[in-house]
Amino acid sequence: MSFSLEGKTVLVTGGSRGIGKSIVLELAQAGANVAFTYARSVEAAEDLVQEIKDNGGKALAFQADAVNYERAEEVIKDVVAEFGSLDVLVNNAGITKDNLIMRMGEDQWDDVIETNLKSVFNYSKAVIRTMMKQRKGSIINISSVVGVSGNAGQTNYSASKAGVIGFSKSLAKEVASRNIRVNVIAPGYITTDMTGKLDEKVLDGITSATPLGRAGEAVEIAHSVQFLASDASSYITGVVLNVDGGMAM
């Protein structure tokens, strides 16, 4: 069975850059109608929509604060109105505000937990009624290797991403009887514009801690998302897929 997404509609949160952008492009290339949310960069979002349309695909972009539940409901409603269904939700929106806990402000904790964890609740809750009516759906939540194994200086980020895993396993049990699957992808160190700003010594430390000896590419996460979004993974739910070059072994 192929990983084709022909006839499916996908929504990706945080889809205008980095891993999210790669996911949007790959799923559109696989034949899906793609919608995505973004926080600030209108120009980047418009460029991405145009790129997909230029390649024969269909795309919609929504400016949305991931922590706003009412906005999540509006986005879901608009996507279904435009495309007629919503088959796949990819919860990708996330931020980092790293610090040692002795120096971490309450705002740094709250911002990361709200953006990374509450957003997953918001969009999952908002889409679940639609998927139940369809009696099918796939929810794919992007966690992190640090949600599995932890990392010094990232208590807020690690807690949010570990929370995504617990949330996903519980939701998978709630909705499996309606043929709705919920899975997690836990990336390791992935090369993006944001991570490109890291010090070379830090990068060397990360690659030396990765058994495959290199950073991952955003498209490698996108390929994993494509698999879990497709019917090829129809008997997989409640799984955490580590796409991390072996870091979590």
Phi, psi of 136 (to 5 degrees): -170, 155
Q: Which two tokens stand for residue 210?
A: 């990765």
Measured in Å, how far apart are the chain's first and last C-alpha atoms? 29
Question: What is the C-alpha separation between 73 and 95, in angstroms, rounded?
Answer: 22
Which of 38, 123, 157, 189 is an active site residue?
A: 157
Alpha helix ranges (H) inside the chain: 18-29, 42-54, 69-83, 106-113, 119-134, 145-149, 155-175, 200-208, 218-229
Question: What is the C-alpha separation between 168 and 237, in angstroms, rounded?
Answer: 9
Q: Which residue has the tokens 């609740």?
A: 121
Question: What is the C-alpha separation between 84 and 81, in angstroms, rounded?
Answer: 6
Q: Which two tokens stand for residue 56?
A: 């024969």
**Residue closest to 120 by CA, chosen among 187, 59, 157, 165:** 165
**157 in catalytic set:** yes
CA angle at 165 for the pair 102 and 193, rounded to the nearest 5° = 65
Encode 47-69: b = buried (16+ Cβ within 10 Å), e = exposed. Answer: ebbeebeeeebebbbbebbbbeb
Question: What is the C-alpha separation between 23 and 126, in angstroms, rounded?
Answer: 21
Catalytic residue positions? Answer: 157
